[in-house]
Amino acid sequence: MNINDTLQINIEGMDIIDSLLNVGDMPSVILDSRTFEILYQNKKALELFGDNAHLLCHQVFGGKETPCIDCPINDLSNSSTKIRYNEILDNTLHWKYTRIKWIGDVDAVLATVEGFGEYEQISKKVSMMGIGSEYDSLTGIPKLSSFYANAEREIFANPETHYAVVVFDIDRFKTINDLYTMSKGDEVLKYVAKVLKDTFPGHNNYGRMHSDMFAFYMNYDNKGEIIRQIEKIRKAIYTNSFGFEINTSYGIYPVEDLSVPINLMCDRAMIASRTAKGNVLKFCAFYDEQYREDMLKANEIEQGMNKALENGDFKMYLQPKYRLSDGELCGAEVLCRWQHTEKGIIPPVDFIPLFEKNGFILKLDEYMWNLACQTIREWIDSGRNPVPLSVNISRYHIQHNDLEKAFSELIKKYDIPVDLLALEITESLFLDKPEKLNRELVKLQKIGFKLEVDDFGSGFSSLNLIRNVAVDTIKIDKDFLDSELASEKGKIVINHTIDMAKDLKLQVIAEGVETKEHVDFLKKSRCDIAQGFYFAKPMPLSEFNQLSF
Ligand code: C2E
Ligand code: CA
Ligand code: CA
C-alpha cells in the first residue's frame, strides 16, 4: 500500500484486528497520530516490548517526555520506512509506517517492524538511504546522529564551559516547496547548510536534524552572545539570491544540567522555537521549564478527551439572556464545562484553545449542539414554551465542516423549529476571509437560523465590516463594554454603535453585564438583550429548568 493512501479498517471486533496483525512473526504497533498514544500491539510486539497499552510512543520507545524531534509520524508523506535505534531491544529496527483510521475514526499510524539490525538484512536499504554515512546526503553537513555524537563529545567533555543548543527551522518551508517546487526547496536547504558551514569554519558543531530543521551548539559567557550569533545566521539566510524571503525561527536551550541527554536538549530547544513561530516581533526564544509543563498538561488533556466525551463528562451549562424592555428571560447561551473525575469542573479556557488546535473541537461542538437540540426537544415534549438556545461555533468548523449540512441534519433529527437555535460566530472570523464565511452564513440564514456575531468590539472589526454580512445580532463583548463605559467619550461610542446596529436592523445583546450601572446604561442606549453575572451565571440544565419560561 502507498503510504499516502488511507487504509480504512472497518472493525467489528478486536478479533479481526488480531488475526490480521498477527500474520507473520513481526511486531506491529498502532499509534494515535495526534497524541502518540499506543492503541494496540500485536502478540509479537507484546512479547518484545511488554504491554504498553495507553502509554505514549516516545515514553516507551525513546524513554523521553516529549515526542521525538525526528518523529517519522510527523513526516510521513516523505517516507514510509525508517531505521531507528530501539532502547528496549538495544538494536536497530527497520520500521514501516502506514496511515490508517482506527476505531472511533481516530487518525492513527500502523508501525510494523520489517527487519532487525543485522547488517546483512538492512545494509542495502541503509546505504540507499545514505544512513551509513555521517553526513546528510542532500546538504553534506553532519546528520542528526553525528550532530548528537559531536555535541555530546564536546559538551560533556567540558563541564566548566557554558554551552547552548540552538535548533531552528525555516518558516513556512512547505509553502516554498509548494510555490517554487521541491528542487528549489532542496536548494534552500543546501543554502542554509552552507550558511552554517561558513559561520563555523572547521568546527562540526552543527547538523541537519530532519526536513527543514537544523541545529548547532556553541559556548558562551553571556546570553547576549547567543542572540548575536543567531542574528548573524538569520541575516545571512535572509540575505539570499532566491528572490523570496527566507525567515527562520530559533529555540535556545542553555545547557545547565549535564544529566539531560543531548536529544532531550534538542527537543527542549525545539519546544522553545515553537513559541517564536508566527510572532513577528520574536524570532528566537529561550527554553523555559513552563513550556514543558504546558506541553505535559496539554498531553494529559489530549489523552483524556476521547474518554471524557464517551463518558459524558462534557456538560452543557446554560446562561440566561434577559430582554431589557421587560426583564423577561428570552434565551440562553450553551457553554461547555468538563466535569473531570479527579480535577473537578474544568472551565473552557483550559481546553477549548487546545481542542481548536488539535481538531477535537469538531467532535465536542457537535456533541454540545446535539445536547442543545435534545434539550429543546425535551422542553417541547414536556409542554413548555422553549426559549431559543445559542451555540458557539469555533473557527475550525468554518474550514473543516459543512455547517449547512450539519445544522440542517440536527434540526431534522430532533424535529425542532429552526428559530429555536441561534449560532454564535466570533467576530475575529470576519477578518479572515469574509467572502467565504459570508457564503456559508447566507446558506444558514436562508434555512432560518439566527446568526450572532460573538465578542463584537474585541477585535478590529467595525459595523462597517459586517454591514454586508448575513447576520442578525451583534453581541457586544464584555471588555469593550468595560473599557468604553469608563469614559464619557466611550459611552458615546457605545451609544452610536448600538444606534448604528439598530439602523442596520441588527439586534443588540450585551454580554458580561455585571452591575446595575451596566444595566441602566444599556437600557437607556436601546440595547435589546443582556447576559451576565448581574442576572445569572451559567448553570446546569436542572437549575435552568427551575426558571420560569
Ligand atoms: P463566550 O462565547 O464569549 O462566552 C461567554 C463567556 O463569558 C462565558 O465564559 C461566560 O461564563 C462568561 N461570562 C458571562 N457573563 C459574564 C460576566 O458577567 N462577567 C464575566 N467576567 N464573564 C461572564 P466561559 O463559559 O468560561 O466560556 C469561555 C469561552 O469558551 C466562551 O466565550 C466560548 O468562546 C468558549 N466556549 C465555551 N463553551 C464552548 C463550546 O461548547 N464550544 C465552543 N466552540 N466554544 C465554547
Ligand atoms: Ca459565545
Ligand atoms: Ca462572547
Model confidence pLDDT, tens digit, residues 303-319: 899 999 999 999 999 99
Return the ligand number nearest the Cα of 424: 2
Ligand 1 within 6 A of CB of 532: yes
pLDDT at 334 over 90: yes
d(CA 476, CA 498): 9
Rounded (10°) CA dihedral 192, 193, 196, 201: -140
Mean pLDDT over each residue of the chain, to the nearest integer: 87
- Across residues 518-535, what is the average pLDDT? 96
- Computed on alpha carbons and rounded to an integer, the radius of gyration of the chain in Å comes to 28
- Across residues 261-280, what is the average pLDDT? 85
Ligand 1 within 6 A of CB of 478: yes
**Which percentage of the chain shows pLDDT scores above 90?**
54
User: What does the pLDDT read at residue 401?
Assistant: 82
Q: Give, rounded to a whole angstrom, the gap between the first and last alpha carbons of the chain.
A: 59
Q: Which atom of ligand 1 is nearest to the CA of 314?
A: 41
Flag the least confident range among 38-42, 121-125, 432-436, 443-447.
Answer: 121-125
Pick the most confident of 55-59, 126-130, 188-192.
188-192
Distance of CA 62 from the midpoint of ligand 3 (Å): 43
Helix (H) or strand (E) holding 499: helix 488-503
d(CA 111, CA 45): 10
- Across residues 338-351, what is the average pLDDT? 93
Q: How confident is the model at residue 43 (pLDDT cuts 50, 70, 90)?
A: confident
User: What does the pLDDT read at residue 97?
Assistant: 84
Q: How confident is the model at residue 279 (pLDDT cuts 50, 70, 90)?
A: low
Ligand 1 within 6 A of CB of 392: yes
The distance of Cα 530 from the centroid of its chain, to the nearest Å, equals: 33
Ligand 1 within 6 A of CB of 320: no
- Across residues 84-107, what is the average pLDDT? 77
Q: How confident is the model at residue 403 (pLDDT cuts 50, 70, 90)?
A: very high
Q: How confident is the model at residue 33 (pLDDT cuts 50, 70, 90)?
A: confident
Query: Closest residue (by CA) to atom 20 of ligand 1?
Result: 512
pLDDT at 119 over 50: no
pLDDT in tens, 497-514: 999 999 999 999 999 999
pLDDT at 7 over 50: no
Return the ligand number nearest the Cα of 452: 2
User: What does the pLDDT read at residue 546?
Assistant: 96
Q: Which of 357, 368, 390, 392 to mutate to test the pocket of ligand 1 (most atoms within 8 A of CB)?
A: 392
User: What does the pLDDT read at residue 2?
Assistant: 42
Q: Which of 352, 375, 403 to mutate to test the pocket of ligand 1 (most atoms within 8 A of CB)?
A: 352
Distance of CA 395 from the midpoint of ligand 2 (Å): 12
Ligand 1 within 6 A of CB of 518: no
- Across residues 260-276, what is the average pLDDT? 89
pLDDT at 133 over 80: no
More confident residue, 47 or 192: 192
User: What does the pLDDT read at residue 5?
Assistant: 42
User: What does the pLDDT read at residue 24?
Assistant: 65
Return the ligand number nearest the Cα of 427: 3
d(CA 285, CA 298): 20
pLDDT at 87 over 90: no
Residue 493: burial class (beta carbons within 10 Å; 0-12, 13-18, 19+): middle
User: What does the pLDDT read at residue 202?
Assistant: 87
Ligand 1 within 6 A of CB of 273: no
User: What does the pLDDT read at residue 61?
Assistant: 79
Ligand 1 within 6 A of CB of 336: yes
The grid coordinates listed for 183 are 528542487
d(CA 425, CA 113): 47
Distance of CA 527 from the midpoint of ligand 3 (Å): 16
Flag the least confident range among 63-67, 205-209, 450-454.
Answer: 63-67
Dmax (CA) of the chain = 85
Q: Which of 309, 313, 335, 514 to mutate to test the pocket of ligand 1 (most atoms within 8 A of CB)?
A: 335
**Which percentage of the chain shows pLDDT scores above 70?**
89
User: What does the pLDDT read at residue 378?
Assistant: 97
Q: How confident is the model at residue 408 (pLDDT cuts 50, 70, 90)?
A: very high
Q: Which residues are bridge partners to 496 per DSSP?
A: none
The DSSP-derived string for 503-538 is: HTT-EEEEES--SHHHHHHHHHTT--EEESTTT---
DSSP state for residue 402 in the 8-state scheme:
-
Ligand 1 within 6 A of CB of 348: yes
pLDDT at 4 over 60: no
This model's pTM is above 0.75: no
User: What does the pLDDT read at residue 15?
Assistant: 63
Pick the most confident of 276-290, 364-378, 426-440.
364-378
Query: CB within 8 A of 415, min separation 6: which ones?
Result: 377
- Across residues 160-169, what is the average pLDDT? 97
| Residue of 456, 452, 457 whose CA lies nearest to 472 | 452
User: What does the pLDDT read at residue 160?
Assistant: 94
- Across residues 74-79, what is the average pLDDT? 60
Tracing cell 457564503 back to the chain, one arrives at: 439
Q: How confident is the model at residue 54 (pLDDT cuts 50, 70, 90)?
A: confident
